[in-house]
Amino acid sequence: MRRGRRPALLSGVARHPAGGAASGRRSIIAGPDNALGRHGPPATEPTALVSSLLFPPTHHALFYLFFFFFFFFFFLLDPAAVEACSSTGVACTLACPTRSLRCPDANYGRRQLVAPPGLSGLAPTAGSYVSGQHYKGQPVTSTFALFFLLLLLLLLLQAHQSSSLYYILTPEQLYLSFYSVRTPSDCQIAPVRLRKQPDNSSIGRASYSKRESHTAITMQTKHFFSDPTHLVNSALHSLTLTNPSLAFDRQNKIIYRRPCKDTESKVSIISGGGSGHEPAFAGFVGKGMLTASVAGTIFASPSAEQVRRALLQRVDGSKGVLVIVMNYTGDVMNFGLAAEKGNAAGIKTEFFAISDDVGVGREKGGKVGRRGIGGGVMVLKIVGALAETGASLEEVYATAQLANNNLVSVGSSLEHVHVPGRDMPDPNSDDLVPHGEVEVGMGIHNEPGSHRMKVTAEEMIQTMLKQMLDQNDKERAFLKYSSSDRFVLLINNLGGVSTLELSALTAEVVLQLERDYKIKPVRTIQGTFLTSLNGMGFSISLLRLADTGLGAGKSFLELLDAPSEAVGWAAPIQTSTWDNQTSASFESASSPRAVEKPSNLTLDPAILKKVLSSGLDRVIKAEPLVTRYDTIVGDGDCGIGLQRGAEAILKEINDSSTPLTPDVLATLHRIIDVVENTMDGTSGAIYAIFLNALAHGLRAQDKSTPMSVTSTIWANALQHSLKALAKYTPAQPGDRTLMDALSPFINTLIETEDIRKAAEAASQGAEATKMMKASLGRAVYVGGEDEWVGKIPDPGAYGLSEFLNGIAEGI
C-alpha cells in the first residue's frame, strides 16, 4: 500500500470508469499538492458551498438523510465502539486508498482489520471491513467524533454537489473513510471478500455505481489557467499590449478606445457578453469597429452596472450610442437595462440584439427568437464601419436591422467544451456528444442543436446548408433570396478546429453552394471570430447583400471591406483585389523538364543507358541487404526507397516512346524528374539536391558547340554538386551517412579521373562506417550501438556504393 497519499474522498479526483481521471484529460489546477492539477477541479467557493448545503437540490434529500442517520446510529449510538477505541488508546483511524473507489471486482479492495501485536483482544467484530489500516493514536470521544462527522458530511456533500466523485462510496467505505488521516506501518492486514456487492440504488446514484459508460468524454479539459477571473482579466489586458489605442477598465472588465479626435462626433458602438468567445467581443474594439466592449465571466453576461459604466464613462455619447449584443437572455436584459439607464441619463441610446442562428427553428425558438452566433460578427463590422463614416445613430441602427434580416448562420460541433475552473462532466450524461457523431445546430455556450448524426464532413455541410437555404422549410426559411442575389460567406472557427481542417471545410462549403444553390460568394471570409472557448466546431454564415440606401461607400460590401484596427477582425484582402480578380496564371508545361534549355554536352545514348542500367540493377539486387541493415540501425525503409527510385529510372530510360537523346542534360533532367516524384524522405531530397546541382555544374561547362562529356567535366560537375549539398546538410565524412561513400568517390575521381578507383574508394568509405558512431539521421535515436558497431555499415552509404560500383562495371 502506498504511504502518505491523501484519501480519494478528500482529494477531489474525478474518477473515470477506466480508473483514471475522467476522460484521461485533466485541468491544470493549481494547489498545494500538485501544481499540475492531479487532484481534479478546484474546491467550490465558501459561499457556494454554504448555499449548496442550505439549499440542496430536492432530489438529493434522501441521499443526505441516509448518510446522516447512518452515522448517527452506527457510530454515535454505538457506545461499545467508542468505549473500545477510547479506553485502549486505539483510534479507529483508517486510510482509504484511492483504488477502493474503483476496484472492478467484488473484493472492492477492502481489508479486514486485525489487531496489532499485544492488542489481539481488541480485534474488530465479525463483519467489520476496512479500506486501509489502523494504528495507535489518541482517544476518540463522542464530541470529537461529532466534530469530524460534521466535517466529513460537509466534504461529502460538496463532493457530491460538484460531481467530483463519480463513484459513490458504500456505507462501509464512507464510515471508515471518516477516520482517514494517515497510514502507519504497525498493523497487520488480511484481505477479505464481501459476499455480495452493496446495492447503491437506494441512495439515488445507481447509474454511477455501474462500471459502464454509454459515451466517452472527449472534450479537452486541460487548461493553463485554473482561475477564470485571472484568466479573463489577463486576456483583456493583453489587448492593450497589442493595440496602443485601447485602454482597460479592470474593475468593470471594459475594453475601450482611448479618447481622441477620431472618436469625437461619431456614434459610439458598445457590445460585449460573456467571456470565452474571443476574439469576440473585446477583440473587435478599435478604429473602424467597436468603441467599447464589456466582458462578463466565462459564458456569463456582464452586469447592467458594468455596461452602464461603459456607456456613461468610457465612450463619447454626444452623437448617440448603439448597444448591440447577441440574442441571449442575460445579455439582452443587462445590456438593455444599461441602454435604458443611458437614455434616462440624457444619452441618446439604441439597443439591438443580433439573431442569425437557424439551428433552432421558429417553433422551438418561440418568442425568444433566433440565437446570435458567428454571423453577428459581420453585423458588428458593418455598423462599426458605418459609424466611422459619421453616419447618424438612426442610420446605424437601421443598417443593423437590415443586415440582421439578411443573415443566416448555423453551427456544428463534435463535442461540448469544458470551462476552466468548472467541474468535470458526468461521463454518463446525455449532454456529451457520442464519439463519431456531430451535433448540428449547437450553440456557442454548449446549447443543444437540432439533432446529432453520424455523417461525413460533406454530408454534414449538406445538412447545414439545407437548414440555411431551403425555402420549403417553414421552420427555418428565415432568408428569402433569388438566383441574382449576391452573398458574403463567413466560415467561423469555434476555437478548436485546426486551420487545416477549417480550410478544407471552407472549400467544401463553397463547392456545395455553387453546385447545389448556384451561389458564388463575392467574399469568402475564413477565420476565428466568435468562439466557444476551444470548441471542436465551426459555423457557416451567409449575408445577402441588400441595398442600404445610404449612397456610395456605405454598402454592405464596402463597409465589410473598410479598414479596421480591431485585432480580432482578420480580413486583410483589399477591395481592389476582390474587384480586379483575374483568371490569369503562368502557363504550365506538361513536365518540368520541358522548359529546360538544350545543351551541347553530348554522350552516346546507348552507352549512357548501359552504364546507368548496370548501376541501377545492382541497387535493386542489394535491396534485401540494405533493408536488413536499415531495419537494425534505422526505420527499415532505405532499401525499399532506393529500389523504388532505381526501378522508376530504369523504366524512364527504357521508355521507347521517348528515347534518350545525345543531350546529357536532357537525360539528366528526366532522371531528376523521376527521383523527385518517386523517392521521398530525407534520402530522396538529398539525391534530388545533388542531381540538380550536378545539372547546374554541367551547364556551367557547356559550350556553344557540341562536345563530348569527359571525365574532367564529370569530376568538376560532381565537385560543384558536393559543395551545393553542403549548404543543406551538415553531414561530413565520418558522420556515418551516405557522404562517407559519396565524398571519397568524387575526390578520388577528381584526383585520378579513374571511375573504377573512385568506386573502390566509395566501397571503402561505406565499409568504414561500420566502426563509426552515428551523429546524424535516425540512427542517432535508435541506440543499441554495442550490438551493431563493427558489423553493420550505414545503409545509405552501402546502397550508394553499390550503385557507383555498378556504374564502374558498366563502363
Q: Tens digits of per-residue pLDDT, 434-473?
A: 777 888 888 888 777 777 888 899 999 999 999 999 998 8
- Say if residue 288 carries a ligand binding annotation: no
Give every strand in the sheet of 487-493, ordered side by side.
451-453, 438-440, 407-413, 537-544, 487-493, 523-527
Mean pLDDT, residues 75-100 taken together: 40
Topology of domain 601-810 in CATH is 1.25.40
**Range 20-49 average pLDDT:** 37
What does the domain layout of the chain look like in residue ranges? Answer: 228-420+433-574, 601-810
Per-residue pLDDT at 52: 43
Q: In the prediction, which pLDDT does 687 show? A: 92
Q: Once rounded to an integer, what is the mean pLDDT over residues 585-597?
A: 57
**277 a known binding residue?**
yes
Residue 219's pLDDT is 52
Contacts of residues 471-477 at CB distance under 8 Å and 24 or more positions apart, as own/partner, are 474/362, 475/361, 475/362, 475/363, 476/358, 476/361, 476/362
Q: Using DSSP, state whether 524 is helix, strand or coil.
A: strand
Say if residue 276 carries a ligand binding annotation: yes
Residues 311, 364: Cα–Cα separation, whole Å:
34
Question: 431 among the known binding-site residues?
Answer: no
Q: Does 445 qualify as catalytic in the annotation? A: yes
Q: Which one has a higher pLDDT value, 572 or 705?
A: 705
Least confident of 220-229, 424-433, 641-650, 725-734: 424-433
**Residue pair 440/453 in contact by the 8 Å Cβ criterion:** yes
Top mean-pLDDT range of 66-70, 186-190, 387-391: 387-391
> Among 108-122, 463-477, 582-596, 788-802, which stretch is predicted with the lowest mean pLDDT?
108-122
Q: Comparing C-alpha atoms, which of 410, 346, 354, 349 is closest to residue 382?
A: 354
Q: Which residue has the higher pLDDT, 49 or 596?
A: 596
In Å, how far are 150, 158, 692 from 8, measured between CA atoms? 18, 14, 65
What is residue 320's predicted lDDT score, i.e. its pLDDT? Answer: 97
Catalytic residue, chosen from 445, 451, 669, 720, is 445
pLDDT > 80? residue 483: yes
Q: Is the dihedral of CA 629, 633, 636, 640 positive or negative?
A: negative
331 is in an annotated binding site: yes
Which residues, including other chains, have CB under 8 Å from residue 125's CB and lie 6 or more apart? Answer: none
**Assigned CATH class of 228-420+433-574:** alpha beta
Q: What is the pLDDT of residue 184?
A: 36
Q: SS3 of 413, please?
A: strand
State how far the Cα of 509 lies from the Cα of 107, in Å rounded to an integer: 56
What does the CA dihedral 217, 222, 225, 231 come to, rounded to 10 degrees?
-50
User: Is there a shared CATH topology between the 228-420+433-574 domain and the 601-810 domain?
Assistant: no
What's the pLDDT score for residue 407? Answer: 97
